[in-house]
Amino acid sequence: MNSSPFDLVTVGGGLGASALAISMARQGARVLVLEKELQFRDRVRGEALTPWGVAEAKKLGLAELLMKTCANQILGMDMGFGVRNIIETTPQKEPGFTYFHPEMQEALLAEAGRAGAQVRRGVVVVAVEPGANNGAVITRDTKEERIRARLVVGADGRGSAVRKWAGFTSHKSPQPFHFAGVLLTGVKERQDVMTYLFNADLGLVVGIVPLTKGRWRAYLGYSTENGLFLQGSEKLGAFLAESEKVAPSVAEAYADVESIGPLATFEGTESWIDHPYRDGVVLIGDAAGTSDPTFGQGMSITLRDVRVLRDALLEHSAWDTACHHFAREHDTYFHVTRKVCGWLRILFEDPSPEAQALRHRAMPRIAEDLSRVPDHLLSGPDMPADDAVRDRLFGEY
Ligand SMILES: Cc1cc2nc3c(=O)[nH]c(=O)nc-3n(C[C@H](O)[C@H](O)[C@H](O)COP(=O)(O)OP(=O)(O)OC[C@H]3O[C@@H](n4cnc5c(N)ncnc54)[C@H](O)[C@@H]3O)c2cc1C
């Protein structure tokens, strides 16, 4: 038994933190969750969980809860080649889930409390102190307070300050794309099908994600070269006009829409920590590695992080060993995902002449045989991602 008052304290109470809090509290761990928001609001975040992410949610015992509280079940995916049945064609044999992100966050954080975790909201963590076998966080509520725990979990999202406080070195790979999103009603599309359409010559990608209660998340990826920055509700007209350039079906889907949330744009920049564990502080979710949002992998990777970390913490009594194991595993699946997204970005988004030349060779072969496109986005990072997979995608044989 460790002398700290908590086994784990999480900085943040989003998807990663609350999923870990639920999983560990259910096993009897003493967990404290510190979340700065009193009520979650629409920050324009991920709302489409792929089949491999749903499989992770199942392994964590969260899938049923998500379905009961906030999720819509997705059976098909339309990427411009007809609607693909994703249950039949993925190794997990699972549907996708979609949900309004703030409702998912509220549902999971409430469950963390029911599972026995202590949840404190409206609390801003202002520092983290790594230690040999444990760490501490400093919070500012009404007064400053120092809380020690056997393990501090940095789950504070894409702008993670824990990375810096705990002395990790961040790596960045800027990408020449922006990714915008807005919440809509009145979209004319099927409720059980997600749509992702690319127009690489224009450097545009559209995502149309049906949620519950007649709401839709509309995303638009666009090249940084085209001079747009789609931020703020006054840019809704430009957002819709750019989206409609991708395919005539998008114009039909958006003919009568209304916006019911903020319009926000994010950089496609990837940023990550190599080996996200040191001295009693572990990073999970976007804090460990922020993937390019265009490819919709962030929540699935976050749930994989939680599952791998949970299993390691339950298996090893020495949590230092457990966290090093987690960090090694994380690096493998995060970078497989990054690598494959890099290939897909060139083929389906990049308007440069070099990418156009590659497409000229690759696309006719892909049209004949769709299995040339590696399926990591839906099927997960355990699929092969070696040079042969890359060469086949780019039509080199
Ligand atoms: C535009 C966009 C579209 C996306 N689309 C998809 C998609 O379709 N599918 C997908 O899988 N992923 C998608 N993602 C990624 C996905 O949203 C993230 O991977 C996921 O939300 C990460 O969860 P998290 O728990 O790590 O971080 P977050 O969800 O960001 O949670 C972090 C929490 O920490 C709290 N916090 C931060 N700092 C402090 C502090 N100092 N003290 C206390 N609390 C703090 C925050 O309030 C927040 O609640 C998208 C991202 C963006 C930006």
Say how many Å lie between the CA of residue 395 and the centre of ligand 1: 36
- The residue whose CA has the least distance to atom 2 of ligand 1 is 45
Residue scoring higher pLDDT (306 or 174): 306
Q: What is the pLDDT at residue 380?
A: 98
294 within 8 A of 205, measured Cβ to Cβ: yes
Nearest CA to ligand 1 atom 10: 296
Residue 55 clears pLDDT 80, i.e. is over it: yes
Q: Which domains does the chain have, with CATH numbers?
A: 6-74+92-172+270-338 (3.50.50.60), 177-267 (3.30.70.2450)
Q: Report the separation in Å between the CA atom of 391 and the middle of ligand 1, taken as the mean of its atom positions.
A: 34
How far is Cα 129 from Cα 149, in angstroms, rounded to an integer? Answer: 11
Q: Tell me, in angstroms, the distance from the centre of ligand 1 to residue 158's CA.
A: 6
Q: Full-prediction pTM beyond 0.95?
A: yes
- Average the pLDDT over 239-251 and give the result: 97
Give the ligand 1 atom nearest the CA of 209.
8
Q: 1: pLDDT confidence band, cut at 50, 70 and 90?
A: very low
**In this model, does residue 30 exceed pLDDT 80?**
yes
pLDDT tops 60 at residue 179: yes
The reported pLDDT for the residue numbered 2 is 55
- Arithmetic mean of pLDDT, 17-43: 98
Share above pLDDT 70 across residues of the chain, in percent, rounded to a whole number: 98
Q: Is 16 in the pocket of ligand 1 (CB under 6 A)?
A: yes
Give the span between the Cα atoms of 85 and 74, in whole angstroms: 9
* Cα–ligand 1 centroid distance for 14 (angstroms): 6
pLDDT tens digits for range 125-144: 999 999 866 777 888 777 78
What is the predicted pLDDT for the residue at 326?
Answer: 98
The protein residue with its alpha carbon nearest to ligand 1, atom 11, reads 299
Does residue 15's CB lie within 6 angstroms of at least one atom of ligand 1?
A: yes
Percent of the chain with pLDDT over 90: 93
CA 173 vs. chain centroid, Å, equals 17
What's the confidence (pLDDT) of residue 132?
66
197-212 per-position pLDDT tens digit: 999 999 999 999 999 9
> What's the average model confidence in pLDDT over 357-367?
94
What average pLDDT is seen over the chain? Answer: 95
- Return the axis-axis angle of helices 298-315 and 51-59, rounded to nearest 10°: 30
pLDDT at residue 304 is higher than 50: yes
pLDDT tens, residue by residue, 287-298? 999 999 999 999
Hey, what amino acid is at 189? Answer: E
List, for residues 68-85, the tens digit of each pLDDT value: 999 999 999 999 889 999
How large is the angle between the packed helices 298-315 and 15-26, nearest 10 degrees?
30
| Substitution site in 36, 50, 140 for ligand 1 pocket (most atoms within 8 Å of beta carbon) | 36
Greatest alpha-carbon pair distance for the chain in Å reads 65
Asked whether 117 and 131 are in contact (CB, 8 A), the reply is: no
pLDDT of 237 reads 98
Distance 384 CA to ligand 1 centre (A): 28
Q: According to the model, what pLDDT value does residue 226 have?
A: 84
Ligand 1 centroid vs 370 CA: distance in angstroms?
32
The torsion angle over the Cα atoms of residues 55, 57, 58 and 60, rounded to 10 degrees, is: 130
Contact (CB, 8 A) for 74 and 193: yes
pLDDT at 338 exceeding the cut of 70: yes
Residue nearest to atom 17 of ligand 1 (CA): 46
CA of 45 to the centre of ligand 1 (A): 6
Which among 23, 33, 42, 45 is the best mutation to test ligand 1's pocket, defined by most ligand atoms within 8 Å of the CB? 45
Spatial separation of the C-alpha atoms in residues 372 and 335, rounded to whole Å: 20
- The reply to whether ligand 1 has any atom less than 6 angstroms from the CB of 135 is no
> What is the CB neighbour count within 10 angstroms for residue 225?
11
